Amino acid sequence: MPEFLYAAAALVLLLTGLGLMRMLWGPSPADRLMAAQLLGTGGGAIALLIAIASGTMAIIDIALTLALLAAFAAVALTLGEPGTKTRAGEGEQ
Amino acid sequence: MSVVLDAFTVITVTAGLVFFLAGTVGLLRFPDALTRLHALTKADNLGLGLIVLGLLPQCPDITSALKLIAIWVLVQFAGASASQLIAQFVRRNEPGP
Amino acid sequence: MSLLVDLVLVALILMAAVWTVLVRDRRDAVIAFIVLGLLLSLVWMRLYAVDVALTEAAVGGGATGLVLLRACARLLPVEAEGRLPGPGTQIAAGLLSAIAAAGLAAVVLSPPVPYPSLAALAAENIHQVGLGNPVTAVLLAYRSLDTLLEKVVLVLAVIGVWALTPDAFWGGAPGSLKSKHASGALDLLARVLPPFGIVVGIYLVWNGADHPGGTFQGGTVLAAMWLLMMMADLADPPEIRLKRLRRLVVFGPAVFIAAGFAGIFMSGWFLSYPPDYAKPIIVAVEAALALSIAVILGLLVAGPAAEPPKR
Amino acid sequence: MSAPTLYGLCAAALVGIGLFGLILHPTPLRKVISFNLVGCGAFLFFGIAARRGAGAGFAGDPIPQALVITGIVVAFAATALAVALILRMLEAGASTVDAKPLPPDDLSP
């Protein structure tokens, strides 16, 4: 069973890695961020597969952290929109 | 019994891999950002969900099994919110039809 | 099979790194850097360093990305992308970097035999501190002075960021983190996620004594939840003149230092713990530190005050 | 080739790439990002040291691992401070890299 799970982890890595092509192609920042989102989910899946395959349950906590912070980059992206101004508007005329 | 559980794991994890494949192909091949987002959410919800389901019988204790389920629920929720946020971002920046 | 995973991982990391440097737009570079952080977290997992992987996932995937994306948002209307130097300079810079990398690679390829390791020493003494996680034992017992100074550096960084406040705004609140566009999804996320995040943060701190996890990992998750609430406009960044806030910032390091001085009386050395009480003392110090780290990281991301204090 | 050696070479390449970006980019934010790349490479060296020093029942030497955690924390603090400095510098009307200075704003009383 561990061999199968390791192979599955490698395959998920390969697939999410291919998805990273979207980070290179774009065209919009949203597309690039989607690659990061896919990697976050895929990374969680890889961590879970390796945790069970190797019997290291502590690795599950990595997937837990990734899951909690998965939406974080997407939220932060909306901060970076052109024309967004902070409330104080300092230094931005 | 163990053979049945192992077979269950192999089948569900493989199905999960298929959805990750679908997510990647969609992300790379779909024509615009919103459809690509749809592909991404497939991988989030079903790919990870099936892998979690497949790993449940392999968990050595109930705590890790519960953690696995918690992770899936969190990813479902965070993924759904994130895709909404990204979609709103796309709509604001590229006014579509 | 397993080396194949490593090869793919290395190829993806190099791709992300090259893209980070070469892409034109600075926000694209930041996104590539976030991707790199996620990939590195997987590498740490492959190197059997679960504590580090947790830190990298929390910092690389969360905190650093947020700081940099926020900087991009503020820079967009102001600063143009710079013009790159000419081809001559580029080639020279490339050669120099290649030589540096080749030198480091040579070091990697000729490791000393046997490889120096302190693992045996760490294992020998771990029963004296009563912890199950050797990394926490190093951080809070064997090399606790380093960790104490690291926390002091964090406090100094907050002071440094606050010192950049314009005179007129001194004592006020940092600029709001909230997104310009109201979003129901963000609101929902910031209402539902923090309860889970706080539980996970506390779990990571508590778990850190015997299993991978610890103050910094837990503290970062707590800080991320606070920042999420600030971004959804459910919480305002606090005014930096608040005494309570400042006490929270120094609370963890102060408890650490107090435990250190108590060590002088109880077992003769600064920061040495009596064996019977080592674990409770360490767990108490960790809890205090996690609280302070959460506040400090939130304040570092929020930045200097950007509006005058309210009367 | 063993996995630690492979990651060690990756770390060397990361330092090289980061160094190149540090020299190449004139804008301060890009320099900060590049410097973080160099940092990532340096941290990875500690990971190699930890893995190669495995022993006494641990899969990795805990001392380099603990040092890296400290390093990541300090690197984050330094990045946050650097970003705050860059933003303040621009607010105060420092010249951007390839353009004319911005008009000084009236923040200071």
Residue C211: per-residue pLDDT: 78
Chain A residue numbers touching B67 (CB-CB < 8 A): 60-61, 64
pLDDT tens figures, C145-191:
888 888 899 999 999 999 988 888 888 888 777 777 777 888 888 88
Are C240 and C141 in the same domain?
yes
- Structural domain count, chain D: 1
Confidence of residue C15 (pLDDT cuts 50, 70, 90): very high
Query: Do the domain assignments include residue D99?
Result: no
On whether ipTM exceeds 0.90, the answer is no
Q: Where residue D86 sits, what CATH number does that domain have?
A: 1.10.287
pTM value?
0.90
User: Can you tell me the distance from the alpha carbon of C150 to that of C277, in angstroms, rounded to the nearest whole number?
Assistant: 24
Chain A residue numbers touching D91 (CB-CB < 8 A): 90-91
| Least Cα separation, residue C93 to chain A (angstroms) | 24
D62 pLDDT above the threshold of 50: yes
Contact A46 C42 (CB under 8 A): yes
**CB-based contact C175:C233 (threshold 8 Å):** no
Q: Shortest CA distance to C296 belongs to which of C192, C165, C156, C196?
A: C156
Helix (H, G, I), strand (E, B) or coil at C30: helix
Are C224 and C272 in the same domain?
yes
Q: Which of C141-155, C228-242, C261-275 has the lowest mean pLDDT?
A: C261-275
- Structural domain count, chain A: 1
Please give the C-alpha separations between residue C11 and each of C36, C39, C44, C295, in angstroms, as whole numbers.
11, 11, 16, 37
Contact D69 C301 (CB under 8 A): no
Query: Do the domain assignments include residue C309?
Result: no
Please give the C-alpha separations between residue B47 and each of A10, B8, B16, B72, C189, in angstroms, as whole numbers.
15, 15, 4, 10, 22
Which of A16, A48, A71 shows the shortest C-beta gap to B51? A48
User: Can you tell me the distance from the alpha carbon of D97 to that of D93, in angstroms, rounded to the nearest whole number?
Assistant: 12
Q: Does C183 touch chain B (CB under 8 A)?
A: yes
Q: Shortest CA distance to C16 belongs to which of C43, C34, C1?
A: C34
Which of B74, B84, B92 shows the shortest C-beta gap to C185? B84
Query: Do the domain assignments include residue C33?
Result: yes
Domain that holds residue B15: 2-93
Domain that holds residue A58: 2-79
What tokens appear for C156 in the block?
């100094």
- What's chain C's average pLDDT? 85
Nearest residue on chain B to C189, alpha-carbon basis: B81
Of C50, C79, C108, which one is at a domain's C-terminal end? C79
Residue D108: per-residue pLDDT: 42
**SS3 assignment for D3-68:** HHHHHHHHHHHHHHHHHHHHHHCCCHHHHHHHHHHHHHHHHHHHHHHHHHCCECCECCCHHHHHHH
User: Can you tell me the distance from the alpha carbon of D22 to that of D32, in angstroms, rounded to the nearest whole number?
Assistant: 8
Contact A90 D107 (CB under 8 A): yes
| Least Cα separation, residue B2 to chain C (angstroms) | 25
Are C123 and C43 in the same domain?
no
Query: Do the domain assignments include residue C91?
Result: no
Q: Which of A83-87, C9-13, C201-205 has the lowest mean pLDDT?
A: A83-87
Query: Do the domain assignments include residue D104?
Result: no
Q: Which residues 72-91 on chain D approach chain C with CB closer than 8 angstroms? A: 72-74, 76-81, 83-88, 90-91
Contact B60 A55 (CB under 8 A): yes
Q: Does A30 touch chain C (CB under 8 A)?
A: no
- Structural domain count, chain B: 1
pLDDT tens figures, A35-54:
888 888 999 999 999 999 88
pLDDT tens figures, C78-124:
666 667 888 888 888 899 999 999 999 998 888 777 777 777 777 77
Which of A30, A33, A41 shows the shortest C-beta gap to B48? A41
Query: Do the domain assignments include residue C100?
Result: no
Domain that holds residue D25: 3-92
**CB-based contact A60:A51 (threshold 8 Å):** yes
What tokens appear for A92 in the block?
């931005």
Q: Do chains D and B touch (3 or more CB pairs under 8 A)?
A: no
Mutate to test the interface with B, among C189, C199, C200, C206 (most CBs of B within 10 A): C189
- Structural domain count, chain C: 2
Chain C residue numbers touching B71 (CB-CB < 8 A): none
Chain D residue numbers touching C300 (CB-CB < 8 A): 76-77, 80-81
Residue A26: per-residue pLDDT: 74
Chains contacting chain A through 3 or more C-beta pairs under 8 A: B, C, D
Residue C77: per-residue pLDDT: 61
Query: Do the domain assignments include residue A93?
Result: no
Residue, of C210 and D8, whose pLDDT is higher: D8
Contact A10 C181 (CB under 8 A): no
Domain that holds residue C66: 1-79
Of C79, C98, C132, which one is at a domain's C-terminal end? C79
Mutate to test the interface with A, among C22, C42, C67, C188 (most CBs of A within 10 A): C42
Are C168 and C276 in the same domain?
yes
**CB-based contact C307:C175 (threshold 8 Å):** yes
Provide the β-strand partners of residue C174: C305
Chain B residue numbers touching C183 (CB-CB < 8 A): 84-85, 88
**CB-based contact A2:A46 (threshold 8 Å):** no
Nearest residue on chain D to C5, alpha-carbon basis: D3
Query: Do the domain assignments include residue C94?
Result: no
Query: Do the domain assignments include residue D40?
Result: yes
| Least Cα separation, residue D30 to chain A (angstroms) | 16
Residue C293: per-residue pLDDT: 92
Buried (b) or exposed (e) across C188-215, using 16+ Cβ within 10 A?
ebbeebbebbbebbebbbbbbbebbbbb
**CB-based contact C158:A55 (threshold 8 Å):** no
Contacts across the A-C interface (CB distance below 8 Å): 183
Which of C181, C184, C196 shows the shortest C-beta gap to B74? C196
Please give the C-alpha separations between residue C209 and each of C49, C110, C133, C143, D62, in angstroms, as whole numbers.
15, 36, 6, 15, 14
Are C142 and C221 in the same domain?
yes
Confidence of residue C279 (pLDDT cuts 50, 70, 90): confident
Please state the rounded mean pLDDT for residues A50-63.
88
Q: Which residues of B touch C (CB under 8 A)?
A: 70, 74, 77-78, 80-81, 84-85, 88, 92
Confidence of residue A80 (pLDDT cuts 50, 70, 90): low
Chain D residue numbers touching A80 (CB-CB < 8 A): none
